[in-house]
Structure 1
């Protein structure tokens, strides 16, 4: 339950510490007060019992005849022991009575309805009094009610009686019971206070941690503009400053790495394009010219009828013509003449026508706006992007139609390539973007443009590339 939640851990910890502390203090205070109250009750019982014992003993001594018999008036005896006044120190339940050796009452009880001689008081304290003499105890009285008592044997010659003073335990403990209830109430209030304080402290601690976690998630998703700001002059404020400084360093280093990577990739592609143009020139100016010269020589020989086998000559002538066409095609692919000599639209139209001749693909190309704002490098890159996209479509898409549009807007040049092929699942990490799409994305980045691809299985794929006109005008 607490493995992932610091809040729950801290709240649980605060609860355990608070509850344990309150329990220890509460129990200690309760039992300390309880023992003190019991000791005070015993002192009071002992005091009252001692005074009554002296009165009883004096009464018996003054009411003894010469023959040694005691002339006792039960009413006078009861009047000494029973105290029903409001100032009764034994409270509402307290009483003092006498018990004989047969465990029968010898004086009237305030509770018993029967005469004293018919009420038996066989309790632990009374038995202890006959065996031990003076003492105190906590036990049930003759009514079966738990009580505190003080007892002693009477010092009366010829009588084996005891005197016992009692008070109900519940009445004696009424103060401690009230104290217990007060402690429970105070403990409940303190626990609520602890929980409130714990909530505030936990929020102050966990809140910044969650903020840092959320910021880390955003950074992991590529949002390097995330900032964590804590104005407090504490550890979290220092940590947020260090975190933001670290983020600035990461952002700066990432920008430097991306810039360096773009420069290297740009140099690579520019070098490839330069090499293609060199090869195209060499093929066109060298090998192509030689083949044309050979073709012309053969034509002269045929015209002069220097060879008897005209069929073989015709076949050889056609092979030379095919070689020249293939050489021109290779040269065009390396450096499209339409783009070098005319416009980007012309070069793209020528490429589309060549591809349609050699495949079953229907290509529709259209442009809107003035594309002269594109610099030479951007034109070459856009041409290569379209070339890569069409090759990718022929190899993988199984499409029958492709629409290509280049549009000039107020702020951008937008290229869109859409096919009706089988499409693919972009979210499938195992498939990912193929090499062709990765090359297109790389060239888009080199143009400081944005690259978006949408694909639906069974419907087709759409590629959108957007180039900022401000950047283009800056490079011209």
Structure 2
């Protein structure tokens, strides 16, 4: 069962939805613009912080490289001047300059010198000597030298792989070597704790504005962290950061993007490669998306509250407006119901000057016209009844005339022939009998003609198709007009018997018109069916006529009336000296016998 919804309810719902949709679209657009603006500003801020951290890193390592160069040159010069092979004499000369260097340069926590397969480990307090084989069991220094040999910068390099110290803090190694007399080589390794790198990359307590979840960090070529995580302890060289940011930075791409970080948390990320001598690092600055967009989410909540408040006002306004618009429509509906019940003298009082008022005026005019037309229809109905009675009376008169003038005279002649047989000899009686028989044959034919005029027997006996064929053949034989007809498959169309009779009479009337008026030499009749409509097409090459000036007689009027009874349409096309075409479309149901 369909739920009835009044036009007031529909109007109210449509306007309410439209208003709410407008508010939602404006709110969403404001939210979208604000969100994009904040995201862009955050990306700019992250990029600014990342660039600043990168500059600080470059400056830090440049200063350390200068200090390493200073100490390396000193040791090399002392070797050459002292012409000694005892490295300790050089190290401890001038009141232990190496230890003094370490005391002044707080960034270095240890210097390691490899000379003649011995290792000298120097901190700011003492010098320790080891054999290389026992000190470097994992061949770390051999790896560093191999890396230095492969480096484009053969002077020195920074090494950060596979070298850790206590408390989980890695040490970055600045390696340098130089040749001595007698083809000897001196290798220097300056060890820097990652704590100093962490202090450069840290965002806690600085003015970067990265909030509670913002951080900047370094990822190495092995995708492991080189600086401490703000969220996880012991993260250096223990946490893999194989994110979109780190992978793109490793292929020398600098960009910004919303991604998931190493915690699988959605963040705003600014990333770029960082090339320090031989190192391949990625510098990444990130902040949680949730924190970065907190202002946008607050704006969203404000928009939602504003939408709810506005919705209440719109609700009342739309409801009152709907009533004002739909009340006249209800009056129209009630008046239309009265008209449908046959009460045509309905007039609605009009109080509006808008489109509704125009609709009421149109309705009142329609009601007046319907009232006048109903009166005319009643008169026409009486006239039609009168026409039907007159037609029946004329048909009775015609039938009476045919019976009197035709059959009556024939039967009277046959009676006279038979009476003459009584007073005639055998031969004359035989002639009178034969004459009476001929008259009886003609009488039988006349009876068949009258019967066919009343109800063609061929329709009930053989169907519409065969009846049309016989009608066409008789027409061609009697009229002398070359007649081409096509009624193939006509009997396969399921047409009610009453409709068959109407169609037969229509064709019969069309042929009579051709015979009486067209002066044609050729004519054609064609039936076509497209599954819904039966089309009757009749053409002749007669004298034609001007359809704009012709007054159709009883014949064509009979055709039109029968076509209307069949719910069909008729179109007559003709021009003087160009023949005539009649097209009739009749809706029927298709079905095979």
In which range does the TM-score fall when normalised by the shorter chain?
0.3 to 0.5
TM-score (norm 1): 0.45
Higher strand proportion: 2
